[in-house]
Structure 1
Amino acid sequence: MSMFTVAAAQSLSIAGDLAANLARHLRFMAVAAEQGVELLVFPELSLTGYEGQMAADLAIDPQDAVLQPLRDCARELGLTAVVGMPIRDRDSSKVLIGALTLGGDGSLEVYSKQHLHSGEELFYAPGAGGSSLSIGGDTVALAVCADFSHASHAAAAADLGADLYAAGVLIGEKGYGVDSALLQGYAQNHSMAVLMANHAGLTGGWQSAGRSAFWSESGTLVVAAQGPGEVLVIARRDAGAWQGRVVPVAVDL
């Protein structure tokens, strides 16, 4: 198996402040590139925070020019980044929870959250998911938070040949034990690595547990953040074996 380096961007989101969050994302991307990261996954709704009441005002078309600085950065760094943003369904006025993949080749892929958490239906509509990603020789399937609470979602990813199941999430301390056990189980049961990117702190009135993590194809926990706070959780595969490390990210905005 070829070398592959992935990371969870455990970042802090400023409520509804797209400009500040864009700057924060650019900083994380720069640090990730310095660490040799090829795929960087941000938390659910990372560019706006988990702010349902603001979603309709903040939602964009995925092709909106507001994302161009991130797309340019990804291309310049040769890095693929998955960022969270409310998006508008082109065929309706519905607002969806999007995970947008900004490719190192300048491409854009759109994933929309399929399974909503209780209460999210007040602000969002269920999405349609999206295609898997090909990065080098690896196939990556995406999930956004409550998607992974449905075992069928991870099973479908495995059936499509996913080598990595990558989830951007918002998980509090209360739910962390159950949710992390689910993700670890998917890794073990489906023989696919699992990456989980959680928020670094408070967002939308929810205090994140942090503790972003990576599990190998055997279900072994390779690396996890110790708690909240802005860090990169990096996993690197070399000669078929995974090693991990946590790198602090200093953001001065």
Structure 2
Amino acid sequence: MTDLDLCAAQYCSVAGDLNANLDRHAQVMRLAAHHGAKFLLFPELSLTGYEPSLASNLALNADSQLLEPLRDLAKQSGMTTVLGAPLRQSGAEEVFIGALVFCADGSQITYTKQHLHPGEEVVFTPGQGGPLVTVGAGQIALSVCADFSHASHARTAAQEGAGIYAASVLISDNGYEHDSGLLQGYARQHAFGVLMANHGGVSGGWACAGRSAFWSPDGELVVSAAGAGDCLVMARRRRGAWEGEVLQAL
């Protein structure tokens, strides 16, 4: 089994400030790459914050030139990076909760959230998901928040051959015990690693729990942030065994 270095960026978004978040994403990416990450996962809607009332005005095309510096940075660092943003296709009205994957080889993948939380349908349209992401010799399946609340989503990822299930989320203090329990259960049930990147502060009026984490394929909690705030949660596979560490970010 090959070595693998994963990183969840627990990130405090600047509400509605795309330019500030673009700059801060680049800082986090450089830090994660410095520590050897080959796959970096940001939380849901990380580029804007979870701000449904602002999403229509902030929505980007997946090929927006604003994102070019981050695309280039992912390629230059050899680190596949997943960030969150409201997405709109050119000429269309629908807005999706998207995860943009800037791959280490310079290619790009777009994932759109399939399952919406109640109330999100007022602003957002359900998406179509997306393909597995190849990192090294392995396959990573993406999930955006409510997607993982449907057991069929994780089951499909396992059936398609994913070795890692990567969830970009917004989880509050009140929801953390339940939601982390689901993710840990998927790790054990499907024998894949589960990486979860949560917001590190208030977003969209929600007091987020932080506590981003990684569970090994046997369901063991390998590493977790202690609480809220900006940090990097690193999970490293060496000779088939997982180890982790938490690094302060920014």
2:160 aligns with 160
Distance 2:174 2:73 in 1: 36
Query: Is the 1:26–1:70 contact (alpha carbons within 8 Å) kept by the matching residues of 2?
Result: yes
Distance 1:146 1:126 in 2: 11
Q: 1:24-68 CA deviation, whole Å, 9 max, x = no partner?
A: 101110110111000000000000000001111111110010100
Q: Tell me the matched-pair count.
A: 250
Q: Distance in 1 between matches of 2:91 and 2:23?
A: 31
Structure 1 residue runs without a partner (length 5+): none
What is the alpha-carbon distance in structure 2 between the residues aligned to residue 33 and residue 229 of structure 1? 20
| Aligned residue identity for 2:133 | L
Hey, what does 1:104 align to over in structure 2?
104
Q: Once the two structures are superposed, what CA deviation does each residue of 1:120-159 show, in whole Å capped at 9, x if it has no partner?
A: 1111000000000111111000000000000000000000
Match of 2:186 in 1: 186
Distance 1:206 1:173 in 2: 9
Give the Å deviation of 1:76: 1.2
Shift of 1:201: 0.3
What amino acid is aligned across from residue 234 of structure 2 in structure 1? I
Aligned partner of 1:148 in structure 2 is 148
2:26 maps to which residue?
Answer: 26
Asked whether the equivalents of residues 62 and 89 of structure 2 are also in contact (C-alpha less than 8 Å), the reply is no
Give 1:91 deviation, angstroms: 7.7
Matching residue of 1:138: 138
Shift of 1:89: 3.6
Tell me, yes or no, if structure 1 residue 63 matches structure 2 residue 63: yes
Which residue does the alignment assign to 1:205? 205
Contact 2:14 2:48 (8 Å CA) reproduced: yes
1:119 counterpart residue number: 119
Counterpart of 1:196?
A: 196
Give CA-to-partner distance per residue, 1:65-100, whole Å, 9 cap, x none: 010010011111111100000001458421000000
| 8 Å CA contact retained: 1:89, 1:96 | no
Matching of residue 177 in structure 1 with residue 192 in structure 2: no
Residue 4 of structure 2 corresponds to 4
CA distance in 1, matches of 2:72, 2:188: 37
Whether 2:218 is the aligned partner of 1:218: answer: yes
**TM-score, normalization: structure 2?**
0.99
- 1:235 and 1:242 in contact (8 A); partners too: yes
The letter of the residue matching 1:134 is T
Q: Partners of 2:92 and 2:193 in 1: how far apart?
A: 35
Check conservation: 1:211, 1:227, Cα contact below 8 A.
Answer: yes
**Gapped runs of 5+ residues in structure 2?**
none
Matches within 5 A, 1:33-112: 33-89=33-89, 92-112=92-112
* 1:106-132 per-position Cα deviation (integer Å, ceiling 9, x unaligned): 111000000001111111000000000
TM-score w.r.t. the length of structure 1 is: 0.97
| Cα separation, 2, equivalents of 1:60 and 1:35 | 30
Change (3 A) 1:132 1:91: farther
Identity %: 54
**3-state SS in 2 of match to 1:155:** helix
Measure how far apart 1:104 and its partner are: 1.4
> How far apart, in 2, do the equivalents of 1:154 and 1:76 lie?
31
Superposed structure 1 runs of 4+ greater than 2 Å apart? 89-92
